[in-house]
Structure 1
């Protein structure tokens, strides 16, 4: 039970629970059938401008996190998508299953899904 993050390229498993893609762009080389998504919440992903600025540079991760959280707090479409994600997680908690946030980045530590998971759990 809870929330976890996982690369969309990893094999789906029964322990994934509700699978939610949190990238703005569809991941290359993954069919919709193979992804086995329950939801695709594009609006919770960083804006294109922020994503380009960051460029997955580990040295910029802290600043990226601050800017990303600011987007999550202030953009109306993003706030609505965050609320939708929180609703999914709450339903999963009631049914004692997991919500898995799927992302396309290579690094399991340097990606926006990790920041998003903390943000959603923290109730910010």
Structure 2
């Protein structure tokens, strides 16, 4: 099961595997306080897409579509791996943004959930 959580929030036992999915390290946060199992910066949106979005609510739907395209073209294997990790256990995707609902981790969770059926296991390239 995939969950999302702000990386600045205290870790909890029910977080399961904690994976930071931001390209940049969160400001002012020590590695010890982050309590990460993994930092997967490769699956984060490109710098160009991140800057274009700028956390502007009117761009949210287009951001998700563009991010899904980036994942299809460049990170299908990473996304498929996250989906596999989340089968039968909790994986918490961590993000640094202040906005709890419109951020790259929320978009990534939605993108992965769209392809969570057994038919999508065949090939990473057919992820989305």
2:96 pairs with 1:116: no
* 1:105 partnered with 2:104: no
Higher relative contact order (CA 8 A, sep 6+): 1
1:81 aligns with 2:78: yes
Q: TM-score, normalised by structure 1?
A: 0.88
Give the superposition deviation at 1:84.
2.6
Q: Specify the alignment match of 1:49 in structure 2.
A: 48
Structure 1 position 16, deviation (Å): 0.4
1-side partners of 2:78 and 2:23: how far apart? 12
Per the alignment, residue 58 of structure 2 pairs with: 59
Which deviations, in whole Å up to 9, do the C-alpha atoms of 1:27-73 show, x marking residues without a partner? 01111111111111111110000001111111110111111110011
User: Where in structure 1 are there 5+ consecutive unaligned residues?
Assistant: none
Q: Structure 2 stretches of 5 or more lacking a match?
A: 116-127
Q: CA deviation at 1:83?
A: 2.5
Aligned residue pair count? 116
TM-superposition CA deviations, 1:64-93 (whole Å, max 9, x none):
111111001111xx2232133223213xx1
CA distance in 2, matches of 1:10, 1:71: 28
State the superposition RMSD in angstroms. Answer: 1.1
